[in-house]
Amino acid sequence: MKAPAKSGTRIVTLTMNPALDITTDTDRVIPTDKMRCGLPRYDPGGGGINVARIAHVLGESVLAVFPAGGHAGDKVTDLVAASGVPVRRINVANSTRESFTVDERTTGKQYRFVLPGPRLTDVELTECLDTLSAAAGSADFVVASGSLPPGAPADFYQRVADICRERDAPLILDTSGAGLRHVSSGVYLLKPSVRELRECVGRELISESEQLAAAHELIDRGCAQFVVVSLGSEGALLATPLGSQRYSAVEVPSGSGVGAGDAMTAGITVGLKRGWQLDKAVRLGIAAGGAMLLTPGTAQCLREDVERLFEMVADPIDIDRARWLSARVKTSR
């Protein structure tokens, strides 16, 4: 289960709806009254940008492609560049969105406020695809991660998959909603959460067997060669054409979960870039996701934490094929 060999030089990430992430804290979050907050922390956000930063931390050569506009877009661009990740920015007329996270000190609860992104013109969307196409030519992997901006065609990520296929660059996709539902082919590895998988197939997916049956359904349709279903604190499931595996999460102190899914995607991609088998790459993804729980807000995790947790991730457990086959038969009736 290795990725196809290619003489590319880096990982290319695409973030169609980046954000300026602002994180702060306060004693209590209550209505009406003013809440005095601590000093804010600013981080560049958006799925692909988060993946790029973590992959860079893990020692890989990365290029981040994203549209950006306005003062928030300038700030995001500067922050990504300052983290050591090269940037290929597509200038857009409207301002990049901002996201706001507040940690409540008295309870440990976290409140996330996510604003909609800017509406991109057809010309701007086309420029994003053209820029990606040029960058993908020298890429070992392309990672498209995050939501689509308002007004983007629902099949935008299918267009991305078509470009990657033409450029012989394996695509790793982590998205949700219409952007996921309209992908029909060309994805090397798909990484949905259970919620995203549920929305994609239109079923509850209560049991592990039902979740795996849905993942294998996407493989059977030709949407993706492999599917990794992230389960948060429960670990992950890996579906392949030949079977399934279950991975346990590593135990770490509870902390901010912001960016943990993106870190998992980054870890898997880095493992594949190193030429590892897919099951080992997923273990690195779980370690990277766990390491994000040790960081404040959307701050990038530390390489030493990822490497330490990687040694703690147990080998996966093979799952009886009959179980998810049975669940798949039931859902097809």
Which residues are identified as catalytic? 262
Q: Which residues contact 254 (CB under 8 A, 6 or more apart)?
A: 108, 293
Quick one: tokens of 174? 């982590």
Judged by DSSP in three states, 291 sits in helix
Neighbouring-strand partners of residue 98: 20
Judged by DSSP in three states, 321 sits in helix
What are the backbone dihedrals phi and psi of residue 319, each rounded to the nearest 5 degrees, phi first? -105, 135
Quick one: tokens of 171? 């695509």
**Cα separations in angstroms, 223 against 186, 196, 219, 262:** 6, 15, 6, 21
Helix (H) or strand (E) holding 224: strand 224-230
Q: Which stretches of 32-96 are assigned E, i.e. beta strand?
A: 41-45, 62-68, 87-91
Quick one: tokens of 128? 């994003």
Burial class of residue 269 in the structure, from the number of CB atoms within 10 Å of its CB (0-12 exposed, 13-18 middle, 19+ buried): buried
